[in-house]
Amino acid sequence: MGRTVFAWTIGVAYTLFWSSLGIITWPLSPRGELYLSFARIWSRWILGTLRIPMSVESKSTLELDQPYIFMSNHRSIFDIFALFLATEHSLRMVAKRVLFFIPIFGWALWMCRFIPIDRSDREEAIKSLESAARKIREGISVLVFPEGTRGPGEPLLPFKKGSFMMALKAGVPVVPVVVLGTEDVMEARSLRVGHGSITVRLGAPIPTAGRGTDARDELMREVRVAMQALMAEPVAEPASGK
């Protein structure tokens, strides 16, 4: 219980501090790049303070000037911190719309061009994914959770189709990603914060250029197979955090 109280206390404090700073400095960086830097420091502070080691494994070298769609499994809130630190690209996240109405934190998400989505409203969800596609065409990478919600990790939940349509329309490579170990730190739909280590695995990019939208189901299968293969590899002894 003591670790959980401590974790939530520092989590709220760090979130308020960095979100407020993002709002204050927004005029200096209206495209959100400065806030993205803050988000990575925020993530590093939280993992570092809680002494949660993290390692990153990549199956190929990703070009920094190439936008990608990162598609990750989703087991825990701690996936967010790990993914911010595992990627070096200009990145915006597709997140549940309800998060954008949280005072200060949500305002910072709005101002820094993260992408709200309400999957219960099909038309609004399509608009959100179209907004994400525009950002990709501007050279910004996008992070999505194709399962649509947090799950147990294995087996993967059924994928939502919208993000794959977005990938095919944008014509940029999809990077399959898996985050391992975060469910030991904090399970889905639980408030308890425990101990554990995190491994993030970035798969080889899957090309989408030249593939029509009728390749949606094929792309979904390719991404699922790639993510399952990344999950199946044994986890090495964790190194110190990134």
Q: Is the pLDDT of residue 102 over 80?
A: yes
Residue type, 134: R
Whether 33 is covered by a domain: the verdict is yes
Q: CB-side exposure of 85: number of CA atoms within 13 Å? A: 26
Look up residue 9 and give its DSSP letter: H
Whether 29 is covered by a domain: the verdict is yes
Whether 25 is covered by a domain: the verdict is yes
Indicate the average pLDDT of the chain: 88
> Which residue would you say has higher pLDDT here, 69 or 116?
69
Secondary structure of residue 94 in the 3-state scheme: strand
Q: Could you report the per-residue pLDDT of 218-234, keeping only the tens digit for each?
A: 999 999 999 999 999 88
- Asked whether 224 and 36 are in contact (CB, 8 A), the reply is no
User: How many domains in the chain?
Assistant: 1
Nearest CA to 7 out of 186, 226, 136 is that of 186
Whether 237 is covered by a domain: the verdict is no
Residue range of the domain that includes 210: 2-232
Q: What is the CATH number of the domain that holds 10?
A: 3.40.1130.10
> Which residue would you say has higher pLDDT here, 200 or 120?
200
Q: What pTM was computed for the model?
A: 0.88
Residue that the structure tokens 């806030």 belong to: 35
Whether 241 is covered by a domain: the verdict is no
d(CA 147, CA 24): 34
DSSP H stretches of helix in the chain? 2-24, 33-49, 78-86, 105-111, 122-137, 162-170, 182-185, 216-232
Whether 40 is covered by a domain: the verdict is yes
Q: Is the pLDDT of residue 119 over 80?
A: no
Q: Which residues contact 210 (CB under 8 A, 6 or more apart)?
A: 171
Whether 92 is covered by a domain: the verdict is yes
Whether 214 is covered by a domain: the verdict is yes
